[in-house]
Amino acid sequence: MTRTERLLAELIALPSVNPAFLPPRHPHAGEKRVADFLAAIAARAGLDIEFQRVLPNRSNFIARLAPRYRTRQTILLAPHLDTVGADGTRFIPQRKNGRLYGRGACDTKGSVAAMLSAICQLADLPSRPRETEIVFAGLIDEEQAQAGSRALVRDRFKADLAIVGEPTRLQVVTAHKGSLWLELETNGKAAHGAMPQFGRNAVHEMARIVDVLETDYAARLRQRKHPVLGTPTVNVGTIAGGVQPNIVPDRCKITIDRRTIPGETEASVKREIKKFLRAKNLQARMVDKKLAPALPLETDPRLPLVQRFLKSAGQTRPVGVHFFCDAAVLSAGGIPSVVFGPGDVAQAHTVDEWISLSELERGKDQLLKFLNSLP
Ligand SMILES: [Zn+2]
């Protein structure tokens, strides 16, 4: 068993479920156990450690490997420490056919293990960078509201490149879509169900809206293409309206998931939908949810450090993924960010989450090779 594999098995055995997915004070909740465990390992490897308090009992864990001489650039390794929920047995790591099973195996404790192992091994190498500082940041709350990466940016953390750990099958990812959740409400006029002519049916109005969003609007989005990410999409995910059969409903609500491509903003999408409905003579109110929007990511693949990382990974072209992650937050905060890690997102959040152990090891080796090549 390699050091990275052992570390991953230990991490799976320490539940760090995002508290948003559990009842209050659940024993599996929170990232603290994992952060403390990693801190002990990092301290033994001689790294400088620090906790950045973000929420009560929830801190980002930060470990730094200072260069031998002066810091001229900083590379940030940033996986998240939280996972989605699971039943108790998923916290017992199981090794089978070259795979390790357990909650967080690929999303994203695999990246945590690969990245921390790489930085700890680097600390021991006489050839380690003379002028590049390497920082590991285990972030909280990626699965819910990205409070960890948002706090890092808020406190003006700066780096020349962030490698955000997520399962990309060791592909260097420079772009992903954003996601906007919108709520629309139609308002009608209630009346007795026996005399619907005296009311105005909010459900009927919404039915028309759902229809045009899923047909005409979706078709319009399909004409917009991003070279790596493809087209933006729209999905009407929920609908609710009316009280009982014999009342003309005066209210109906839908929620929409709108996946955005770089260049589309929350404001521009809202404007576009309002205008689209107006042109169809349909009326709905856009409810302001005040959720932090999940922005799209687009990092210039021509940046020298991105080029260097691509080359070191043996990849000629960057790729895009369909999932949102901390990279978008860091990138919006001024840190050029790519996504990279062992494991396949197809296994993330599933009951049988697993990671290929050879890929895990390769991920660690690739990171170590890249970091050790820096000045
Ligand atoms: Zn993740």
CA of 111 to the centre of ligand 1 (A): 9
Containing 256, the helix (H) or strand (E) segment is: strand 251-260
CA of 113 to the centre of ligand 1 (A): 14
CA of 293 to the centre of ligand 1 (A): 17
CA of 164 to the centre of ligand 1 (A): 9
The amino acid present at 321, given as its one-letter code, is V
∠ Cα 351 355 359 (to 5°): 165
Containing 163, the helix (H) or strand (E) segment is: strand 161-165
CA atoms of 312 and 369, how far apart (whole Å): 7
Local structure of residue 24 (DSSP, 8 states)? T
Paired residues of 192 in beta bridges: 247
The amino acid present at 159, given as its one-letter code, is A
CA of 74 to the centre of ligand 1 (A): 23
Global confidence as pTM: 0.87
Look at residue 5 and give its three-state secondary structure: helix
CA of 195 to the centre of ligand 1 (A): 53
CA of 142 to the centre of ligand 1 (A): 7
CA of 149 to the centre of ligand 1 (A): 12
CA of 68 to the centre of ligand 1 (A): 33
CA of 99 to the centre of ligand 1 (A): 19
pLDDT, position 203: 98
pLDDT, position 41: 98
Containing 178, the helix (H) or strand (E) segment is: strand 178-187
Q: Tell me what percent of the chain is helix, strand and coil, each rounded to the nearest 5.
A: 35, 25, 40
CA of 108 to the centre of ligand 1 (A): 5
CA atoms of 354 and 163, how far apart (whole Å): 22
Q: Report the Cα 235 to chain-centroid distance in Å.
A: 19
Give the burial string for 7-36 (b: 16+ CB within 10 Å, else e).
bbbbbbebbbbbbebeeeeeebbbbbbbbe
CA of 217 to the centre of ligand 1 (A): 30
Question: Could you give the strand order of the β-sheet that contains 285-287, starting from the edge strand earlier in sequence?
Answer: 233-241, 251-260, 178-187, 285-287
CA atoms of 335 and 333, how far apart (whole Å): 6
pLDDT, position 343: 97
Q: Phi, psi at residue 323, to the nearest 5°?
A: -105, 150
CA atoms of 331 and 160, how far apart (whole Å): 11
CA of 349 to the centre of ligand 1 (A): 9
CA of 80 to the centre of ligand 1 (A): 7
CA of 327 to the centre of ligand 1 (A): 11
333 Cβ neighbours under 8 A, 6+ residues apart: 149, 152, 153, 154, 157
CA of 246 to the centre of ligand 1 (A): 47
Output the CA torsion sign for 311, 132, 335, 58: positive
Q: Using an 8 Å Cβ cutoff, are 320 and 173 in contact?
A: yes
pLDDT, position 290: 62
User: Residue 339 is encoded by which pair of tokens?
Assistant: 């996504």
Beta-carbon neighbour count of residue 77 at 10 Å? 28
CA atoms of 84 and 82, how far apart (whole Å): 7
CA of 326 to the centre of ligand 1 (A): 8
CA of 143 to the centre of ligand 1 (A): 6
CA of 330 to the centre of ligand 1 (A): 15
pLDDT, position 322: 84
pLDDT, position 291: 67
- Please state the three-class secondary structure of 65-118 as a single string: ECCCCCCCEEEEEEEECCECCCCHHHHCCEEECCEEECCCCCCCHHHHHHHHHH
Residue-by-residue pLDDT tens, the chain, 375 positions = 899 999 999 999 999 999 999 999 999 999 999 999 999 999 999 999 999 999 999 999 999 999 999 999 999 999 999 999 998 889 999 999 999 999 999 999 999 999 999 999 999 999 999 999 999 999 999 999 999 999 999 999 999 999 999 999 999 999 999 989 899 999 999 999 999 999 999 999 999 999 999 999 999 999 999 988 999 999 999 999 999 999 999 999 999 999 999 999 999 999 999 999 999 999 999 987 766 678 899 999 999 999 999 999 999 998 999 888 999 999 999 999 999 999 999 999 999 999 999 999 999 999 999 999 999
